[in-house]
Structure 1
Amino acid sequence: MVTTDSLKKELKGLDFNNPETIIHKDLDTLIEHMVDYIGSIDPELRDKLIYTTFYYIINQDYLNHQQMDYLLQTCLDPNHLFLSIGSENDDSVFTRAFSSLVVALVLGKDRKERFLSEDTVKKTIESSMKYLLEEEDTRGYVEEKGWAHSIAHGADLLDESVKHPLFDKTLASECLDTIRRCILIETAYVDEEDERLISVIISLLEKEMNENILKDWVSELSDEVTEIRASNGFSPTFFRKNTNLNQFLKALYFRLLFLERGTQTRKEIERILKANLLV
């Protein structure tokens, strides 16, 4: 098996402004090695080299359709996107989070070129929701190991799923339920996870989701947090979930305002935030 040092050296030798450094590579072997180390705890190797290389070789057409299908199928398997899913505060989160980014890259490429089978795309869309529903490690930046950012990366994948032409609009409510779970988690977010989740909502609206669905969902979300306060008082659980809710609603409000969308949803958010000020 290739060592981390040799893989680093090979990846640093790639120059995306000079195709000659790439086209003569054995890309089948290279992408296998990159997948092997996709969850490395070395942030330079994982983030700056492996992910960045995947970004360029996928978007600049260095990989053929068979290679991208291989990447997708591998990153979706139990040893990657779902490796030790449900665990917290261990290094498996890096494999899950960075696998989700690679899946998003391939799905985004397929959105434009359509080379994946319909069954594969549908499986990927289902997996994007399943992943966010089951991820328990919500750390953003991890000292000495760099970004995990699992919820943000998972949101990027879910966003690509919604944008795909094979996304079924009847899944809109299921997507919103997935986002709800991410907001009402025990951890208060500090690394702009809410902004990435909101991008999914905007994509749903662009897929012509009825705005009343969003308005009602926002109202139900607020009611759920209010019920937590009624049951548990001003507990740490309430404050963390209420913090996430308020940050999310404020960010959603202004995103909708800037896009000149969601008039009724914005009015509902105003009502919720005003009510919270009176508590």
Structure 2
Amino acid sequence: MTLANQVNLSLLNEIVQSKFQVPQGYSTDQLTPGLMKNLGSSDSDLRENSLDVLGQWIEEPKYTDAQILDIAQQMAKNLSVGLGESCSDSVFIRAFSALILESIIIVDRLRIANNGSPLLSRSHIHIWLHLAIELLRDEKDERGYVEQKGWAHCLAHTGDLLAEFSLHPALERKDLELILHTIAQKLIAPVEQVMVHNEDERLAAVVIAVLQRELVPFRFFEEWLASFVSLPGGMNWMDTLTLPTWNISRLNSKMFLRSLYFFFVFGFKNDPPYPPVALQKQLQPLVLKTLKQIYPKSRYGDGI
């Protein structure tokens, strides 16, 4: 791809209003570097519209396979930019690159499902999966909406990406178990930010995606749920009520498990709908049991 042409808001609006046609006098090769750069902008309109254009052009596609692979490699690289920083603008490039990479994983998965040749190699999938897992594990900027700059929402976007990875046929049981393990460890670690922008549901959706693969056994899920009440140094969640950062992790874990329980009880909306998985019924009472262990004084009944 050529050096980036600046893609300003006026040009973006022209593209969107034309139903995502490439503007006259331009090519995707010229515009794509600028669109990718805009994903890290602190200007919400510039960032969100560039996301929409890239996503649409990938889905149509207006790109060749080689171009999509180039974009995917850049998006995967972006997942590590500024990782570990807190409350800096670098969060935008990580968060929005995750969504574009998710779009590319979807394209590849659907192509395989329709008996087409894969766009991505298994090696690419596994390398990028581990970058996404590192993003979940090491992300310190847990802001959802940033005043005057719009949505960052990196934790939620990372959940979306991991859910899509989980559905990809290149992932094996050990990969899915690693994803689940990382989610649990992330949630029980002390943090300063309560999940107030539905991050709990976005992460719980990863578990639903993992269950769709029917590769991870009941025994693993038993141990995984037990890990939510296995705190360092023999501490229990009741000890954390007066420890602010630990108490926040208690709340985040509780919200996540509540979301998972509600998905089990009331179903999970998806288009197309996910087929039922028998293991969900077996796990439902275990999730409720874990919730009661997180706060033994709760007034939860025996479930539905």
Same fold (TM over 0.5): yes
- Correspondence for 2:251: 243
For residue 270 of structure 1, report the CA deviation from its aligned partner.
2.3
1:98 to 84, 87, 96: 96
Deviation digits for residues 88-125 of structure 1, max 9, x if unmatched?
Answer: 01100001111111111111111122212222122122
**5+ residue gaps, structure 1:** none
Which sits farther off after the overlay, 202-211 or 86-95?
202-211
Partner Cα distance (2:95, 2:19) in 1:
30
Equivalent residues in 2 for 1:115-194, closer than 5 Å: 115-185=119-189, 186=191, 187-194=193-200
1:202 to 185, 201, 208: 208
- The answer as to 2:41 corresponding to 1:32 is no
Alignment check: 8 A CA contact 2:16 2:53 kept: no
- Correspondence for 1:85: 83
- The answer as to 2:282 corresponding to 1:264 is yes
Partner Cα distance (2:147, 2:238) in 1:
37
Partner Cα distance (1:265, 1:206) in 2:
14
For residue 242 of structure 1, report the CA deviation from its aligned partner.
1.1
Alignment check: 8 A CA contact 2:20 2:53 kept: no
Partner Cα distance (2:197, 2:224) in 1:
24
Partner Cα distance (1:270, 1:120) in 2:
38
Which sits farther off after the overlay, 256-265 or 143-152?
256-265
Alignment check: 8 A CA contact 1:131 1:154 kept: yes
1:109 to 107, 118, 123: 107
Partner Cα distance (1:46, 1:66) in 2:
24
Partner Cα distance (1:32, 1:229) in 2:
48
- Correspondence for 2:260: 252
- Correspondence for 2:301: none
Distance of aligned partners of 1:29 and 1:134 in 2 relative to their CA distance in 1, 3 Å threshold: same
Distance of aligned partners of 1:73 and 1:272 in 2 relative to their CA distance in 1, 3 Å threshold: closer
Alignment check: 8 A CA contact 1:59 1:109 kept: yes
- Correspondence for 1:51: 51
* Equivalenced residues, count: 274
Equivalent residues in 2 for 1:206-221, closer than 5 Å: 206-208=212-214, 209-221=216-228
Q: Secondary structure at the match of 2:125?
A: helix
**5+ residue gaps, structure 2:** 112-117, 268-275, 299-304
Alignment check: 8 A CA contact 2:95 2:152 kept: yes
Partner Cα distance (2:20, 2:144) in 1:
34
For residue 206 of structure 1, report the CA deviation from its aligned partner.
0.8
Alignment check: 8 A CA contact 1:37 1:46 kept: yes
Amino acid at match of 2:201: E
For residue 234 of structure 1, report the CA deviation from its aligned partner.
2.5
For residue 272 of structure 1, report the CA deviation from its aligned partner.
3.1
Query: Identity over aligned residues, as a percent?
Result: 27
For residue 57 of structure 1, report the CA deviation from its aligned partner.
0.9
For residue 162 of structure 1, report the CA deviation from its aligned partner.
0.9
Amino acid at match of 2:297: L
For residue 66 of structure 1, report the CA deviation from its aligned partner.
1.2
Amino acid at match of 1:195: E
